[in-house]
Amino acid sequence: MATLKCSLVAQQAGLEANDLKHFGEVARNSAQKGGELLMQHYGALDTIENKGRVGDLVTNADLAVEKLVLELLEQQTPDLAVLAEESGSIGGDQSLRWCVDPLDGTTNFAHGYPFFATSIGLTWNNQPILGAIAVPFLNETYWAVPGLGAFCNEKAIQVSGCTKLVDSLLVTGFAYDRQTRLDNNYAEFCWMTHRTRGVRRGGAAAVDLAFVAAGRLDGYWERGLSPWDLAAGTALVELAGGIVSDYRGDCFALESGKVLASAPGLHTVLVEELGKIKPLEPGGFGASEITAMGS
Residue 291 has pLDDT above 60, yes or no: no
CATH number at residue 108: 3.30.540.10
What's the chain's length in residues? 295
- The verdict on residue 1 lying in a domain is no
Q: What is the mean pLDDT of residues 100-109?
A: 95
pLDDT category at 108 given cuts 50, 70, 90 is very high
Q: Give the containing element (helix H, strand E) for 107.
A: helix 106-110
Evaluate whether 57 touches 84 at the Cβ level (below 8 Å): no
Task: Indicate whether 91 and 179 sit together in one domain.
Answer: no
Evaluate whether 72 touches 30 at the Cβ level (below 8 Å): yes
Task: Indicate whether 199 and 278 sit together in one domain.
Answer: yes
pLDDT at 293: 43
Q: Which of 103, 102, 100, 101 is nearest to 80 (CA)?
A: 100
Last residue within a domain, chosen from 89, 124, 156? 156
Residue 177 has pLDDT above 80, yes or no: no
pLDDT at 110: 92
Measure the CA–CA gap between 226 and 61, rounded to whole angstroms: 19
Q: Which residue segment(s) compose the domain that 114 sits in?
A: 6-156
Last residue within a domain, chosen from 156, 191, 223? 156
Last residue within a domain, chosen from 114, 137, 156? 156
Digit-coded pLDDT (tens) for 3-19: 569 999 999 999 999 99
Total structural domains within the chain: 2
- The verdict on residue 208 lying in a domain is yes
Task: Indicate whether 134 and 171 sit together in one domain.
Answer: no
Task: Indicate whether 117 and 20 sit together in one domain.
Answer: yes
pLDDT at 3: 55
Q: What is the mean pLDDT of the chain?
A: 91
pLDDT category at 54 given cuts 50, 70, 90 is low
pLDDT category at 55 given cuts 50, 70, 90 is low
Residue 32 has pLDDT above 50, yes or no: yes
Measure the CA–CA gap between 259 and 250, rounded to whole angstroms: 10
Q: b/e for 57-95, b at 16 or more Cβ within 10 A? A: bbbebbbbbbebbbebbeeebeebbbbbbbeeebbeeee
C-alpha 116 chain-centroid distance: 11
